[in-house]
Structure formats: structure tokens, C-alpha cells
Chain A
Amino acid sequence: MSKQIKLWQGNEACAEGAMYAGCDFFGGYPITPSTEVAEILASLLPKAGGKFIQMEDEIAGIGTILGAAAAGAKSMTSTSGPGFSLMMELLGYGCMAEIPCVIVNVQRAGPSTGLPTKGAQADVMQTRWGTHGDHPTIALCPSSIEESFKLTVKAFNLAEKFRMPVILLLDEFIGHMREKMEVPRPGELEIYNHPRPKVDPKEYQHYADGSSVGGPYAAMGSGYRFNITGLTHDKHGFPTARLDEIQWKMDRLRDKIDRHLAELTEVEEEFLDDAEIVIFSYGAAARSSQQAVRQSRAKGIKAGLLRPTTIWPFPDRIVTDVLKKCRTMLVAEISQGQLVYEVERCNKSSTPVVPVLRYDGEMITPAQILKAVEEAQK
């Protein structure tokens, strides 16, 4: 079979990635700059026997995919800042009720309506803490069109396995950029579907121990009886006020992440071995950072790139280790500085950490980052 090469847009690759992952349900609401994801899935899903519904707003968008996911469909919605804000309550509901789904946020500059057609990376802390209460978060962040495809597939896999909403944090720059990619062949990328229960329905507990990560859980209407609620609940899903059960539920949610950090953490490295100046960067900003690193090397500066593709959970241990070895870490972000505080939190070696920021709606440039590298080198 010959290679399939496509000149895709980030949003298009995301929609195609969803189809590859076996997405069969999309519910959402058009919003710039994410609308292409919905438009393309409106065309692709029905042809594959799936379902596309345009809802009346973003609250309904996430509401309907949670319902579809509870009924057993692999579900997704896509949005941007204002819509993502509206989804916050139900994002927490998805975490609490342990319903797998994928939420794509193609970030635009905010706050509020902000700059609808311009990009930013300023929703990253909202992604982590936007919904109230302690809760687990998994968020992936692509830097290229190919990654937009592959991380969408991965987002579905993680949602299925960890039984929770997974956020794909795109941005307008990657979402609307076009570049060449080779489409993975069927079977080339792993597709994970969660196991279904085999126990006698009388024995079934929807939130049994061992079912929170990689374990079996049933779809509504599949012959198993259980309760789903956003209230803190016991193993059957029924609301509880018992202290031991509350503790059990909250630990269960936390442990999804904390006990699987090695599996969840994913970073890309470039020239890190001997790097004195390391740029920490992700998503669109990492493309400029990569260029700045190569330009620095050409000038004889030992620069390197640390680029997480999984933003949440944050790669604490790796950042701490890299900080110990390098002289200075630059944090290049298209925001007023958000992940720079996470980097600081991991800084056990008092290594200088320098933010390199841009937040006027335009892409951060290699020139700006190179200049910061040169200043750090002095």
C-alpha cells in the first residue's frame, strides 16, 4: 500500500484522528477557531455510521457527549475559550462520574470573547483547575499537524483507559496551520477500547475497585444496573455521605494520575544532553523554540529543547532533573506566563528560570526566543 500523504490543517488532522480512533459521536457548537473540527466530523461521521449533533450551546455540547459516552459511544466535542469556560461544570461531572470522552479546546486569545481569530496558550491553567473541586486532569498538546492527529488518537485511548474526560489542547496557530503529514495506516497506531464487564449483573459494581484504570465498566443499557451521578458516590454509584466512602472516592480519582505518572508523562527532547540553556516550550510556541534552538546551535550556543506533549499531569520529575543539569531554563509561552510557575515549582536547584512571553495574538517568533537565549548566554 502506497503512503498516504496529506496537506492537512491541524483541525482537520484532529477530526481525521478522531475517526481513526473510532469516534462515533460528536456533539458541539461552532466557535472560531475550532469550527473546522465540527464541520469535518459533520461530514465524516454519518458516512461511517456515527452520529454528529450540533447542539444549542457548549453546555449542551459536553452534556450530550457525556450522555453518549455513558451509553457506550466514543465521544468528542470541540470548542474554544468561551465555550470551554461554559463546559467547566460538566467537565468536573465527567471526572466525578468517570465518563470517558475527548474535549478539544482550540485556544484563542482571551479573556472573554478576546481575539476570536488569533491564537494563544492561555487556557492551560484553566484546563487544570477550571472546574471546581479536586479532580484528575489529562491534557495533551500537539505542536504539529501530525501530532494533532496522533495525540487525538492518544486522547481517546487515555479517556477509555483512565475512564475520564481527556483534553486535547490545540491552539489557533496549529489548528489553522497546514503542513504535510503521512496518514498512519489502519492498525499502525494502537487503539484502546476499554473492557466490558463479564460478571453476573447481580455482582456488578460500576465503580468497583480496579475499574478506575484499565478495568471493565458497563455501558447504560447493556444489561447492568447502576447509578450515575455527580454527587460523591459509593461503588454502586449511589450518593454517599459516609466518610470512608468519600475518602475512597476522592483517593480513587487522585490515584488515576498519581499512580500512573510514568505512563502518562510524555516529553520530546532536542539537544538536551549537553545543553546549558534549555527552552521549555509546548504546542505552537515549541515550533519557534525548536527553530531558536537550531539557530543557537549554529552560533555555537549549547541550547536544547524540552517539549512536553502531555501537559497535565505536568512532567515534574523530568523538569526537576533538567533544571539541575542546565544553567538557565527559558519558558517560552504564548500567554502572560502560566506554565512558568509550574516550572518554578519543580525548581529544586535554584536554576534561573526566565519567561519568554508573547500575548498580542501573534505567534511568538524564533527571533524573540533566540534573543532571549543570547541574553541568557551572556
Chain B
Amino acid sequence: MANLKELAARGDKFTGGHRACAGCGATIVARQALLAAGDKPVVATCATGCLEVVSTIFPYTAWDVPFIHSAFENSAATISGVEAAYKSLKRQGTVKEDIRFMAFGGDGGTYDIGLQALSGAMERGHNMLYICYDNQAYMNTGIQRSSATPKGSATTTSPNGKKIPGKVQFRKNLTEIIAAHGIPYVAQSVVGNWSDFTKKVEKALAKGGPAFIAVLQPCRLGWGYPPELTAEMGRLAVDTNFWPLYEVEDGKYKINYTPKERKPITEWLFQQERFRHLKRPENQAILEEIQKDIDLRWENLGKKCSQ
């Protein structure tokens, strides 16, 4: 893996000067992913969402690689077309170089509206890496719940009130859905652990074939925490086992990091405005449910790793 010194020397292919919020995690994902891609040329697509909106405000762009913003639901389908055309052009001898194909999408464009396009691309087996920057709600349109929003989280369409204490449902486990496609490489990473993410991007690209990385991306606006804590919020999600760092390589599960001592989920929840109401005594049962769910998911993941 490239070390920090080497990465720093590479020069950003996703540059500063964009319009993201202070402390935005999505732009960190894009910058680190492109840095990890190394010297080989990259083509990137991006679904509609925060990352696209903040990085390409006319007449500026933060992308120093060929970049296509497709429709909301089509990032994976568009990169499929680019990659398939590239294969054909390469066969015909028009293109000589090795090119890497990366698709980006938020949780809205990946878990929800873009799931069909993503599943199709993974199943067809394009040589591409799909990176989901998962900030757990539709932040671009003003914080509506998505199927990645965790239970108990308040959003504008799952508000905390008398009837419901934030989102009622548990979040969908997209990483497992994509792993079920039986593709060469699937992983979970997090903003706040650059070496884990860099390693995984390098590995995904080196494997060839379809690959998927879900990156938990703290969002200071939608989650409600001071902007300087983005990396810390990511790491805490890992230390509480809420977001395990693991990979599925050729069907084999591996946990990449096990906390020395699993922290209680409240340590992560209580630093965020979106969970503030869970501090109230009447919501104690929800906290217990959330903790139970995390422990169960961790246990199940452990079983998969020992198989």
C-alpha cells in the first residue's frame, strides 16, 4: 500500500475549492479514492447528490479526471457503458492504456433509487469500482430519511415527535446485498481511517472485475455535530461496532479491525443532534433495541468470518 508520504506526493485528482460544507466527509472520500488509484487514468461517474452538486459548480470543477454526472439513479449504468465501450475500443486497438472506472453515489443514489442499476452492473461483471459515500440520509435535498438512515434518527420525513421517535425502521444492510452478488471484492470502510480506505481502493482496483466499497461518511449538517469532529465521528462508529470495517474477497469474509473494547453505542449517538431525543428516559427501550441490533449484526459478521 502507498504510504502517507507517497500519497501526499501524488497530487490531488479531486482538488480543493469546491463548495462542500466545512467538515464534509463526502469530498474526503472522493479525494482519497482518486489518490489511491495512483498514476493510472481514471474515469469517474457520479450520481446526483451532494458530491456532484458541490464539486461541479459552473465554470469550476474539482475533478481532475474525466467526469460524468449522470441522472440520480444511473451512476452504475453510465460507468457500465463507459467501461464496455472502452473494452471494445481496446479490442479494436483505438485505446492502448489501462483505464480505471469509478462510480460514486450517495446512499440515496445507491441504497434506494440507484440499487437496480448497481445490481445490474455488479451482475454483468463490469471492471469497475462503485464507491457509496453513505451519510445516512438525503442530505442534498434537506435531510430526508433513506433506507440507510439508522433507527431512531430524526430526519425531516422521519421527525422526532409525539407519535414516532425518529426513524422507526432499522437500516438496510446494503454491503451484504452486494456481497450476495458473489463479486470479487466488497468492503466497508469509513471516513476517518485513511489507511483502511486507501488499502481497500487499491485492492478493489487490483482485483479487476466489479467491486463495491461502502464508506460511512459523517455529515456534520445532517448528523448535527461540530465540523471538526468528522473523522472522529467515523472512527467512533467503528469503535462501537456500528460500522464494522470488513471485506469480502472472493466470497471470504474478513474483519479488518476489532475494537479492543466495544464502546456503547450511546457514545456515538449522543454526540449527534439527530439522536438527541434518545437521551430522554422514555426512549431508553429504543437505545436498548439499537444496541442489541448492533451486537447481533457483529456476532453474525463474526460467524461469517470464521466460516
Q: Which residues of A line the B interface, CB within 8 A?
A: 29-32, 35, 38-39, 42-43, 46, 52, 54, 56-57, 82, 86, 112-113
Q: Which chain B residue shows the least CB distance to A42?
A: B157
A46 and B163 contact, CB distance less than 8 A: yes
Q: Which 6 A-B pairs have the closest CB atoms?
A: A57-B113, A56-B112, A30-B144, A30-B141, A54-B157, A42-B157
Chain A nearest CB: distance from B44 CB in Å? 17
Encode contact with A along B103-119: 1 for CB under 8 Å, 0 otherwise. Answer: 00000000111010000
**Interface status of B71 (Cβ within 8 A of chain A):** yes
From A43, A54, A86, A113, contact of B144 by CB (8 A): A54
Residues of B within 8 A of A113 (CB): 48, 69, 71-72
Residues of B within 8 A of A43 (CB): 159
Chain B nearest CB: distance from A315 CB in Å? 35
A30 and B159 contact, CB distance less than 8 A: no
Residues of A within 8 A of B71 (CB): 82, 112-113
Q: Which chain B residue shows the least CB distance to A29?
A: B113
CA distance A43 to B71 in the complex (A): 29
Encode contact with A along B125-140: 1 for CB under 8 Å, 0 otherwise. Answer: 0000000000000100
A42 and B72 contact, CB distance less than 8 A: no
Chain A nearest CB: distance from B149 CB in Å? 10
CA distance A56 to B158 in the complex (A): 14
Residues of A within 8 A of B158 (CB): 54
CA distance A259 to B11 in the complex (A): 69
A35, A43, A54, A82 pick with most chain B CB within 10 angstroms: A54
**Interface status of B142 (Cβ within 8 A of chain A):** yes
Chain B nearest CB: distance from A326 CB in Å? 42
CA distance A313 to B184 in the complex (A): 55
Query: Secondary structure of the B side of the interface?
Result: loop
Encode contact with A along B46-85: 1 for CB under 8 Å, 0 otherwise. Answer: 0010000000000000000000010111000000000000
**Interface status of B88 (Cβ within 8 A of chain A):** no
**Interface status of B147 (Cβ within 8 A of chain A):** yes
Q: Which chain A residue shows the least CB distance to B145?
A: A54
A38 and B157 contact, CB distance less than 8 A: yes
Residues of A within 8 A of B111 (CB): 56
Chain A nearest CB: distance from B203 CB in Å? 30
Given contacts A39-B156, A56-B112, 8 further A-B contacts (CB under 8 A): A31-B141, A38-B144, A38-B157, A42-B157, A54-B144, A54-B145, A54-B158, A57-B73
Residues of A within 8 A of B72 (CB): 57, 82, 113
Query: Secondary structure of the A side of the interface?
Result: mixed
Q: Which chain B residue shows the least CB distance to A28?
A: B157
Q: Which chain A residue shows the least CB distance to B69?
A: A113
A-B CB contact pairs (8 Å), 10 listed:
A30-B138, A35-B144, A39-B144, A42-B157, A42-B159, A46-B163, A54-B158, A56-B115, A56-B147, A82-B71
CA distance A164 to B147 in the complex (A): 31
B142 and A30 contact, CB distance less than 8 A: yes
Chain B nearest CB: distance from A126 CB in Å? 16
Chain B nearest CB: distance from A208 CB in Å? 38
Known A35-B144, A112-B71, A113-B69; judge A56-B157 contact (CB<8 A).
Answer: no
Known A30-B157, A82-B72; judge A56-B113 contact (CB<8 A).
Answer: yes
CA distance A113 to B49 in the complex (A): 11
B48, B113, B147 pick with most chain A CB within 10 angstroms: B113
Residues of A within 8 A of B115 (CB): 56
Residues of B within 8 A of A29 (CB): 113
CA distance A107 to B115 in the complex (A): 26
Chain B nearest CB: distance from A366 CB in Å? 29
Q: Which chain B residue shows the least CB distance to A113?
A: B48
A42, A46, A112 pick with most chain B CB within 10 angstroms: A42
CA distance A356 to B112 in the complex (A): 41
Chain A nearest CB: distance from B132 CB in Å? 15
CA distance A43 to B157 in the complex (A): 8
Residues of A within 8 A of B48 (CB): 82, 113
Residues of A within 8 A of B144 (CB): 30, 35, 38-39, 54
Residues of A within 8 A of B163 (CB): 46
B156 and A32 contact, CB distance less than 8 A: no
CA distance A273 to B73 in the complex (A): 51
B147 and A39 contact, CB distance less than 8 A: no
CA distance A29 to B147 in the complex (A): 12
CA distance A86 to B147 in the complex (A): 20
CA distance A113 to B138 in the complex (A): 16
CA distance A195 to B147 in the complex (A): 38
Q: Which chain A residue shows the least CB distance to B115?
A: A56
Residues of A within 8 A of B73 (CB): 57, 86
Residues of B within 8 A of A112 (CB): 71
CA distance A39 to B155 in the complex (A): 10
